[in-house]
Amino acid sequence: MIRYLKKSKLFSGFDDESLEGMLTAVSMKSVTKGEIIFYEKDPAPAFFIVGTGKVKIFKISPEGKEQILMIASEGDSFAEAALFGGGKYPATSQAMTDGKLLVIHRDRFISIIERDPAIALNLIARLSHLLHKLNKLVEELSLSDINTRLAHYFINIVEEKNLSENDPILITLSEKKTVLASQLGTIPETLSRSFKKLSKEKVIAVNGADVTVVDLDKLYKFAGE
Amino acid sequence: MIRYLKKSKLFSGFDDESLEGMLTAVSMKSVTKGEIIFYEKDPAPAFFIVGTGKVKIFKISPEGKEQILMIASEGDSFAEAALFGGGKYPATSQAMTDGKLLVIHRDRFISIIERDPAIALNLIARLSHLLHKLNKLVEELSLSDINTRLAHYFINIVEEKNLSENDPILITLSEKKTVLASQLGTIPETLSRSFKKLSKEKVIAVNGADVTVVDLDKLYKFAGE
DNA sequence: CGGAACGTTGACATATATCAAAGGGAGTGG
DNA sequence: CCACTCCCTTTGATATATGTCAACGTTCCG
């Protein structure tokens, strides 16, 4: 388990001694593809770190439309915030693949951070980061149309790659387009049209899950920057 | 300043000694109605607590549409998350009235919480609460229509009042309808129509800023619960 | 009193969701 | 290897919610 803790964004950087102190609060859970880890509004006695596999956290409307809040991959933690707020999970979580999760139990974890401010600071940083991302999601949902959101999505990926001048910019989508639609707050049909629009405008070229950014300047213009 | 710290949600419950230790990190700032406290993307050397007055935090689209993220009243803190994330403010903040703010300076505050885990825990709780609220906002923006959002808005107010059976349910809007529109992620015209719709359906009765909930069951039905 | 901000209403434009259909691609079983 | 199914994706026709623009009445406040 220590190995997974070290790989996690929340606890990397701590020495073995601190991490062993953590172990009293941690257990392990295997999940299979499609398994629901928790439902929205379930009581929240623990939060999670992904050891292996991939998990989606999402909300669902009465009509069945789904809004993905995040996709957690190896090393990501999720549902940390549930420990302190109302004590209920604010969204539903489902395994997208088979995998292993670290389960961090609430009460024991709290007594640990009461003693170790460094862990508390890490948690604070992590929560801040989440706030930042949600902030951005709100902004996009309420102020941008879909083409803009899709352009932003590509820009984020491109900027993370920090590749050198004049490299061809090839992106392979890490999710099915259906899933991407739900992340962007829309439905597959609309997303498909948005892809078509950006293609027709010669901003990107699409071939299945492979997207090439043809005109980066135009991409930024679409994103409104 | 201690007085204001005590009134704040973030630091209430601490004894005078802890609070005096805080003072090295705090200063005071007066603002006048309409004054911009910070712009989105400004570097963030501090966060704030409202001593007196009212402040709105919002995003704005290239076309000028405004999405209010929160309205901070006396005792509320805002922009806490900016201290840790990218070090930039994620939104713009403007005084809605004249008022006084406590300014909590980043570096000194961080060294304080490194020493005082209790303050760190409070901050964590606060950030969790913010996450919870943003979560809800995302849900509503992406999964609900305006009538539903307005119904939710009233339900939240009614539930906070926890009044006894058979009381008449009278709500006086605390914000101008223009502002409410921006909080709900829409524009005044659309909000006006939503008010009209709920009135016509005999769910509420509206008289200027006074709203009476006529049929609570129907209100819940509109909110989809 | 008069002007500015707010609120409402109507006609209209537009983005996005919905519904229905059809075309691939990957995997499965015969 | 073929036929079959399942799921993803795309496309078209249509409906609907919401934004835009313009006008007007109202309230607030100097």
How distant, in Å, are the alpha carbons of A68, A140, A171, B84 from that of A193?
A: 20, 18, 19, 38
A200/A24 Cα distance (integer angstroms): 56
How distant, in Å, are the alpha carbons of A54, A223, B14, B195, B215 from that of B210?
A: 49, 41, 38, 12, 15
CATH topology of domain B145-222: Arc Repressor Mutant, subunit A (1.10.10)
B114 has a chain A CB within 8 A of its CB: yes
Residue B225 has pLDDT above 70, yes or no: no
What per-residue confidence (pLDDT) applies to B84? 85
CA of A188 to C1' of C19 (A): 14
Give the nearest partner residue to A129 out of B85, B120, B128, using CB atoms. B85
What per-residue confidence (pLDDT) applies to A225? 67
Q: What is the band of B62 on the pLDDT scale with cuts at 50, 70, 90? A: confident
Give the bridge partners for B18, in sequence order: none
B53/chain A closest Cα distance in angstroms: 24
What per-residue confidence (pLDDT) applies to A168? 80
- For A187-209, write each residue's pLDDT tens digit: 999 999 999 999 999 999 999 99
Give the bridge partners for A55, in sequence order: A72, A95
Residue B197 has pLDDT above 70, yes or no: yes
Give the bridge partners for B47, in sequence order: B104
Q: What is the percent of chain A with per-residue pLDDT over 70, rounded to a whole number?
A: 100
CA of B154 to C1' of D14 (A): 34
Going by C-beta distance under 8 Å and a sequence separation of 6 or more, which residues neighbour residue B188?
A: B177, B178, B181
Cβ of residue B99 near strand D, that is under 7 Å? no
Q: What is the percent of chain A with per-residue pLDDT over 90, rounded to a whole number?
A: 80
What per-residue confidence (pLDDT) applies to A167? 75
- For A33-59, write each residue's pLDDT tens digit: 999 999 999 999 999 999 999 999 999
In 10 A of CB A32, how many CB atoms? 10
- For B142-177, write each residue's pLDDT tens digit: 999 999 999 999 999 999 887 777 778 899 999 999
| Same fold for the pair A2-142 and A145-222 | no
Q: What is the band of A141 on the pLDDT scale with cuts at 50, 70, 90? A: very high
Residue A161 has pLDDT above 90, yes or no: no
Q: Which CATH number fits domain A2-142: 2.60.120.10, 3.30.465.10, 3.40.50.2000, 3.90.15.10?
A: 2.60.120.10
Query: If you ran DSSP here, which 8-state letter would residue A32 be given?
Result: -
**Structural domain spans, chain B:** 2-142, 145-222
Cβ of residue A197 near strand D, that is under 7 Å? no
- For B103-142, write each residue's pLDDT tens digit: 999 999 999 998 888 899 999 999 999 999 999 999 999 9
Spell A184-203 as b/e; 16+ CB within 10 A means b.
bbbeeeebeebbeebeeeeb
A209/chain B closest Cα distance in angstroms: 25
Q: Which of residues 84-103 of A touch B (CB under 8 A)?
A: 84-86, 90-91
Best mutation target among A84, A136, A220 (most B Cβ atoms within 10 Å) is A84
- For B14-42, write each residue's pLDDT tens digit: 888 888 889 999 999 999 999 999 999 99
Which residues on B lie below 8 Å from A121 (Cβ)? 110, 113-114, 120
Give the bridge partners for B100, in sequence order: B30, B52
